Structures are given as structure tokens and as C-alpha cells.
Chains A and B, each alone.
Chain A
Amino acid sequence: MRDRSFTPSRMLIYLFVLLVAVAWLVPLIIVILNSLRSNEEIAQTSMIGWPLQWAFRNYLTAWSNFCVAQTCAGIRPYMLNSALVTIPATIFSTLLGAVAGYAISLWRFRGDQWIYGIVTLGIFLPQQMRLLPWTIVLRDTGMMNTLTGLVLIHTIQGLSFTVLFCRNYYVSIPQELIRAARIDGAGFFRIFWRIILPLSPPILVVTIIWQFTHIWNEFLYGVTFTTGQQQPVTAALIALSAAVADIPQHGVQSAAVMIAALPTLLIYLIGGKYFVRGLTAGAVK
């Protein structure tokens, strides 16, 4: 168990693990290759193959003049929509979650454990239970088919995760630190700003990556509460593959898929460690 030499049984382990790793990478590699093959080339052979001619133009077409549901502006407007929903909702839910997590874990107030218990139940409640009420709320407040509406939804629903992450992190900060600061006359915000926030970067990175990834990848609310030009990119991808069902353009579609997946893939490449920490933190609630 403890040696790193290459015995036959260890070679078998390497072989097996490498095979699985290749299988895991194949879908990504195939989409990247297809995004660089012309539509005609794919139509003549299959979705699996090496580009005969590198069609970098696919990315340009996918980005700015591809047609989705009667408008031909590529997926750029939808990428922008996704960014305009994801970035504010990530910032709001993380900040509010950090303050609430700090209050619950270190400040303590009457009813804190109750409200914490209810808020974290949101991790389990299926989206389907909230679809109709959100529809009615958005319609009555005039936020149906707006990005503001999606920001509101993702901020409120994201709190279930951000409060959980931050509370579990702050709980390990010694209470004496807060008590000493209070004796020195520091108030709620001052302590948060001066003591808690400087200790927070690790958990804030985990929370931000988690929220960004989930909101960017979200589909159900996007497709239910927005239409046409207001849709986030996940919903636009589905509209796109429906729109081209008759005359498939798999090269350009692959490029569109790559562009849509790129933001979260890049974040994963850079901050994978923190992403995994979020995954396991959510699991042990």
C-alpha cells in the first residue's frame, strides 16, 4: 500500500484508471474537435473525427451571427444575460449569506437555530415546489421575463447554501475573539468588517465558486421565467438545437456549447480545489 514502484499489479491499476480517465475526457475532446470542423465535414462523416480543415470560423459564427429563434445575433446576447444574472446574484447571495452566517454562528440571537434550520431546508426542497409561486410573484411584481427577476430568485434561493457554508466555517472561530472585541466597544458591523472578513477568504472563494457555477448552469427557472432575447445561455442552447433540427449545423453548435461551458470550466480549472470543498461541504449538512 505504501510503495510507489511499478509492480505488475500496480501497472494494472494505472492501466485501468487511465482508461477510465480517457473515457471521461472523450466527450469534451469530441466537442472541442467538432467545434473546429465544418458543418459539411461532420455531415459527411460522423460527430467523431479529426478536423481535416480547421474551421475556427465556427466560433465567430456561434458567437455573433448564428440564428436562435428568429434572431441572428449568435449566443453573445444570451451569454451576456447569463453574466448579468449570475454575477449580481452570486455577489448578493454570498454577502448576505456571510453576514447571516456570522450572526448565527458568533453573534447569537433569539431564534437563530430555528431560522437556520428552516433556511437550510431549502437545499432539499425541489424547484418544482416553487415554480408556480415564483410565477405568480414575478407576474404580480412585473418582473416576469426580466433578468432582475432571475437575480431575485437566485439570490433568495442561494441563501440556503451560502448561509450553510459560512455558518459552518465561522462556527470554528473562537467566541472569545468576539467577546473581547465587544468589550472594546466594537459593534456588529465593525467586528464583521475588521475581524470576520479578514478570516473569510477561503470560505468566500468556496461560496462564490459554488454560487457562480450553479446559477450559470441553471436551466429550469431560465426557461420558465424568460423567453426570446431575455433567456440565459442554457435555455438558449436548447432553443438552438430545436431551431436547427431540420438543417443541423453541428460544427457551429459544438462551438456554441463550448462557449457556454467555458466560464464554469475555466473557474473549475483555476479553483477546482475550492469547488470540490463546496461539493463535500454541501454533502455533510
Chain B
Amino acid sequence: MTNTVAIAARTGRPATSSVMGRLPEFLTIWVPLLLSAAHLISFSLWTIWISFTPSTLVPVSGWVGLRNYTSVLATRNWNIAFDNLLLFGSAFVLLSLATGLILAILIDQRIRGENVLRSIFLYPLAVSYVVTGTVWSWLLNPGLGIQKLVQDLGWTSFRFDWLVDRDMAIWTIVIAAIWQSSGFAMALFLAGLRSVDADLVKAAQIDGAGPVRMYRRVILPTLWPITITVIVIQLQFAISTFDLVRALTNGGPGIATQLPALVVYDLMFQRGLLGRGAAAAVLMLLILLAVLLPYAAWRHLQRRRANHA
């Protein structure tokens, strides 16, 4: 008996000790990664499942098919939110892209104080959207901010009341969002401009190309992969915008600046309609996928082409 144990111990020791010895490293590698991956997959599936149940205040099992989706899609709240997203998304992306590109090109002209300027255009990104939203809500408030200042200066008929104007309120969010994240587009474009092939530029110079032609024909065409990346990231931001609107307009006046993320929160935690809230969250995910999947496919194609070349 003792003999067999001894033999087992002698032959088994190297194997067991290496397995036991590797256990800590095995755990440190896998536990965080598995927790992260498992929460991403299971939480997504969980939310999708809830979106098919008749859950209201608490999650319940049951199957209602697409009823939550059809009722969310039929609400005025969602439709306004979706229209707002289309308007806000495209206006914000186009304008921040243009601002970022112009700033990047100008900063790339070897100007003095480049570092200071770059820091100024990027600092809003270090501040929370709650702070940004609050500050802009003061500046754009007709009784407190810019309108009040100009009227006090003597131009009494001056009007700048988009914040309380149903039709224009969404533009206040566009303004604040551009202020907050054009710097990001600038940083990426600047990195792109700095990596343009110097030989290409030199060759064009020898051919006698002026600065405008140089940008239009030689430099800007090399920037389009970065442009697509910037567009996708800014769209992703636009789709999930919540804090900024919560602090700036809180969806108002009325529901004029409602966005999908606010509808989700409202359904889940203010109306206690978990099933519909989950359905709205899945709809948000679908909108996001409509942007991200083509992008992923494009990236994949680009990589394959690069590997072949």
C-alpha cells in the first residue's frame, strides 16, 4: 500500500507539480478574460431574451414574439428619437469631420505653438459629457447666456433661443457635440497628414503643383481610410449619446431632442417596461451594427488586399 503510493508519488510528481504550479498563471490569465467575454456574450443574449418576454417591472419568462418591438416602433417617442438620431448623427459627423480636417490641415502648416493649439482643441475630450452639457445649457439658455448678454449690450431684439425652440433644439446638441469631439477628428487627421509619403509630395512639387492642387490631388486622397474610421467612431458616439443630452436638454423641450439611448432608459427605469426597454436597446444595437458590419467587412478587404500586395 505504502509502496504503491510512493511509486505513484514518484512517477506522478513532476506532472502534478507542473500542473499545480501552473494553476496560478492559468487562473490569472483565464479568469479576467473569461469573465469579460462571458459577460459580453451572456448579457447581450440576456437582453435579447428579455426583449421577447412580457416583462414589465421585473423580468419574467414567457414569449410575446415581436410584440415589444412593434409597440416600441409604433411610439411617437421612438420615431422622434430615430429621426433626431438621423439628423444629429449626420450633421454632427459631417461638421466635426470638416472642422477636424480644416484644423488639421492648418496646424500642419508648420505653425508656431502647434502643441498648445492641439491641446486646446482636444481638452474637451477629457471632460465629462455631464459637465459639457451643463455648461452649454447655461450658454445657450436665452435668459442666461449668449442671448441675454447681447440683449444687455443694447441689441434688444437679438434672438438665440434654440434651446427652448422645438424645431431647433436638436442643433444645440450638435453644437455641444462638435465642440466636444472635433479635436478627436483633428488628432487622427493630423496623424494621417504626418504619415503622407514625403516622396509623393516632393514629386508633385517638382511637377509644379501649388498648395491647393497638392492637397486636392495628392494629400487628401491618401486620407480617406482615416476619414472612414473617423466617421464610424463618431457615428458610434452619436448612436449611444446619452449623458450629453441628459445634461443639456434632458430630451426637451417636450420630447423634441429625444434620442434612442434616452428612450431605452425611460422605458426601463422610469416606466418600468423592461421588455420594451430591452427591445429598444436591441434596436440601438441593430442601428450600430448597420454601421459597424460594413466597416468590419471593409477593413477585412483592405487587410487582404494589403497582404496580397
- What residues of chain A have their CB less than 8 Å away from a CB belonging to chain B? 1-4, 10, 13-14, 16-17, 20-21, 24-25, 27-28, 30-31, 34, 42, 45-49, 96-97, 99-100, 103, 107, 109, 115, 118-119, 121-122, 124-134, 136, 156-157, 159-160, 163, 187-189, 213, 216-220, 224, 234, 237-238, 241, 250, 253, 257, 260-261, 264-265, 267-268, 272, 275-276, 279-280, 283-284
Contacts and interface: CB of A to CB of B under 8 A. Distances in A.
A217 B264 contact: no
Given A27-B135, A126-B288, A264 B264 contact: no
A217 B133 CA distance: 12
Contact of A27 (B110, B139, B230, B285): B139
B281 A128 contact: yes
Contacts of A218: 128
A124 B187 contact: no
A2 B108 CA distance: 10
Contacts of B119: 272
**Of B24, B35, B40, B148, which is in contact with the most chain A CB atoms at under 10 Å from its CB?**
B40
Given A128-B264, A132-B274, 16 more contacts: A2-B110, A13-B106, A27-B136, A28-B123, A46-B145, A47-B139, A48-B145, A100-B29, A128-B280, A129-B285, A130-B43, A217-B130, A219-B243, A238-B247, A280-B191, A283-B188
A257 B126 contact: no
B146 A217 contact: no
Contacts of B130: 217, 219, 234, 237-238, 260
28 contacts: A4-B111, A24-B179, A47-B138, A49-B149, A100-B32, A100-B33, A103-B29, A122-B36, A124-B292, A132-B277, A132-B278, A133-B39, A134-B43, A156-B36, A188-B25, A216-B128, A220-B243, A241-B247, A253-B134, A257-B131, A261-B127, A261-B128, A265-B123, A275-B125, A276-B118, A276-B187, A279-B184, A283-B184
Contacts of B43: 129-130, 133-134
A156 B39 contact: yes
Q: Tell me which of A27, A46, A128, A267 has the highest count of chain B C-beta atoms within 10 A of its own C-beta.
A: A128
Interface of B: 21-22, 24-25, 28-29, 32-37, 39-44, 46-47, 50, 59, 99, 103, 106-107, 109-112, 117-132, 134-139, 141, 144-146, 148-149, 152, 179, 183-184, 187-188, 191, 201, 211, 214, 229-230, 233, 236, 239-240, 242-243, 246-247, 261, 264-265, 268-269, 274, 277-278, 280-282, 284-285, 288, 292
A14 B128 CA distance: 30
Contacts, number: 247
B40 A122 contact: yes
